[in-house]
Structure 1
Amino acid sequence: MSKVSVYRKEHFNAAHRLYNPEWSDEKNDAVFGKCNNPNGHGHNYEVIVKLTGEVDPETGYVYDMKKLSDLIQGQVVERFDHKNLNLDTEEFKHLNPTAENIVKVIYDLLRDKIDEKYEMKITLYETERNFVEYPA
């Protein structure tokens, strides 16, 4: 049987500051610009989880989309929504919350909860024009 991919999109709103504590303020400003604002700035993130697998002949599903939505809500949205990622989350206390790092953290949070028989890819939109995928 051929594989099918299913997608679930959720969103969360979060603030962050891009900053490397090993660098001077001048270097942080030069590299991160406005994203280095000491008070942070926010985004309306869109996260898309793609699962690829065989269609179950009994259910007709690759994966139960309600179960996937609940998993994303519990592992990602409830953890990051309306939070300052730098200050309010353990995942980014010592990790710069770039889109690249956020997408990898989301992948790791979900990968442990989803059977390895499913291929998984996470797409994270930071803005309409800026987005990242993991794994590439």
Structure 2
Amino acid sequence: MNFKVAISRREHFNSAHRLHNKHWSNEKNLKVFGKCNNPNYHGHNYELEVKVIGTVNEQTGYVIDTKLLSDLIKKYVLDKFDHKNLNLDVAEFENLNPTAENIAIVIYNILRPYIEENYELKIKLYETQRNFVEYPY
């Protein structure tokens, strides 16, 4: 049996951030990022979907053990991002604007080393119920 199957895990975290480009004036930052440029930050209740795509292991019947996937997400993403100020508390955003796009890419890069290379990894991050990003696309 050599069928590709996608398995997804959904998680939730809360984080604050400020969208800001330090190379721009305050006026340009406000014009481009609007309320998201608030110098006192603002927060989101993020919904995260991590999808692993691969062939089913004939011995286990799994693509990946969902408990393992859950543990990886908790240890490397939730513990790092949940109830944190992304700009101030997460090293990856020290010089990277914490947009939803960049957060998804960072999460992908954090998790990729822990997922077997022969499996695809996809990240879907909901910043709001209506706004979400997917990486890679």
- Report TM bin, short chain: over 0.9
Give, in whole Å, the separation in 1 of the partners of 2:14 and 2:20.
19
1:95 is matched with 96
What amino acid sits opposite 2:19 in the alignment? L
Q: Match for residue 30 of structure 1?
A: 31
| Aligned counterpart, 2:72 | 71
Q: How does 1:1-136 map to 2 (within 5 A)?
A: 1-136=2-137
CA offset at residue 58 of structure 1?
1.1
Partner deviation per Cα, 1:70-106 (whole Å, 9 max, x = no partner): 0000010000100000011101011000000000000
Give the share of equivalent positions with the same residue, in percent: 65
1:2 CA drift (Å): 1.3
- How many residues were matched structurally? 136
Quote the RMSD (CA, aligned, Å): 0.5
TM-score, normalization by structure 2 = 0.98
Q: Deviations over 1:34-93 (max 9, x none)?
A: 000000000001110111111111111110000000000001000010000001110101
> Shift of the alpha carbon at 1:113?
1.1
Residues of 2 paired with 1:61 and 1:71: CA distance? 16
Structure 1 residue runs of 4+, over 4 Å off? none
Structure 1, unaligned stretches of length 5 or more? none
Could you tell me how far 1:112 is from its partner in structure 2? 1.0
- Can you give the 5+ residue segments of structure 2 that lack an aligned partner in the other structure? none
